Amino acid sequence: YHEHWCKLAQFMAGIGLVVRRWEREAEESEWKPIPDTEWKINLETGL
């Protein structure tokens, strides 16, 4: 049970790093990130 939460925490931290990288690249290229609603749908469906 505890290991599950450790893996989940690592997974969420990994997502955070990817999102920050995407945001930095978006600022450099003036690319607009997808809306929060699409993020939530993707996370809920596991995509």
**Do 26 and 33 touch, CB atoms closer than 8 A?**
yes
Q: Hey, what amino acid is at 18?
A: V
pLDDT value of position 38? 67
Of 7, 16, 4, give the one whose Cα is nearest residue 43: 16
Side-chain-side CA neighbours of 40 within 13 Å: the count stands at 3
**pLDDT tens across the length of the chain (47 residues):** 678 888 888 898 888 888 888 888 877 766 555 566 666 666 677 65
The predicted model scores a pTM of 0.41
Residue extents of the structural domains in the chain: 1-45
- Cα angle 22-27-31, degrees, rounded to a multiple of 5: 75
**Do 33 and 23 touch, CB atoms closer than 8 A?**
yes
